[in-house]
Homo-oligomer: A and B are copies of this chain.
Amino acid sequence: MRTAFHEQLEALKATLGDMCGIAGVAMERATQALLQADLLLAEQVITDHDRLAAMSRKAEESAFVLLALQAPVAGDLRTVVGSIKTVADAERMGGLALHVAKIVRRRHPGHVLPEEVNGYFAEMGAVAVDLGKSAREVVLSGDPDRAAQIRHDDDAMDELHSHLFTVLMDREWKHGVASAVDVTLLGRFYERFADHAVEIGNRVVFQVTGEQVAEG
């Protein structure tokens, strides 16, 4: 028999999954706004973030109520405590998409990126969406294979990020320092987005299997 506790826990998981998906979509849209200098889309990402922040507060309150009224123990307690940290990760992922959108708005009507690095960001954006989806799946299913997929995507993100830095550090870079500063910060935002997804995946696997994932 499913208890009220487990029903509420499933509802909380569903919210966490939604938050991960929403963060992925936010990064997808922010990337599109970045590549096309699309102010309206950037503004939408900025406005939408309020919704994610509100979901975050609500999810945290649900976790709090579960602890207060049900006093779970053992594995259930670990799941609820883990969910509080996952809420923070998912909100931060959305916050990083927000940062990307804000740079787009600041430079509008100019393009933030020199043509030369557009391809890197298009790919990093695609990886970010996958990460959002995988984080969602892993939160809902607890599937360790899906968590491994997150680490795989994170490796892809790190590689893109590292290539981007090679381009940036090259003596041939002719787009000036201001542009290099923007590209540096943007690259960092995508890299951190992936890190938070990895945290979520590893945490869920730990909750499900009791095994810590070794840091790569």
**Chain A residues with a Cβ closer than 8 Å to the other chain, count:** 24
Across the interface, name the chain B residue whose C-beta is closest to A165.
Answer: B181
A120 within 8 A of B: no
Task: State whether B81 touches A64 (Cβ < 8 A).
Answer: yes
- When distances are taken between beta carbons in the complex, the residues of chain B under 8 Å from A168 are 177-178, 181
Given contacts A84-B85, A169-B177, A185-B188, contact A68 B64 (CB under 8 A): no
Pick from B78, B173, B184, B188: contact of A64, CB below 8 A.
B78
Across the interface, name the chain B residue whose C-beta is closest to A78.
Answer: B64
Bound complex: CA of A173 vs CA of B185, how far in Å?
A: 18
A9 within 8 A of B: no
A40 within 8 A of B: no
- When distances are taken between beta carbons in the complex, the residues of chain B under 8 Å from A178 are 168-169
A77 within 8 A of B: yes
Task: State whether A81 touches B78 (Cβ < 8 A).
Answer: no
Bound complex: CA of A113 vs CA of B192, how far in Å?
A: 24
Bound complex: CA of A181 vs CA of B177, how far in Å?
A: 8
What 1/0 mask marks residues of chain A from 162 to 183 whose CB sits below 8 Å from any chain B CB?
0001001100010001101100
Binding site for B on A (CB under 8 A): 63-64, 67-68, 71, 73-74, 77-78, 81, 84-85, 88, 165, 168-169, 173, 177-178, 180-181, 184-185, 188
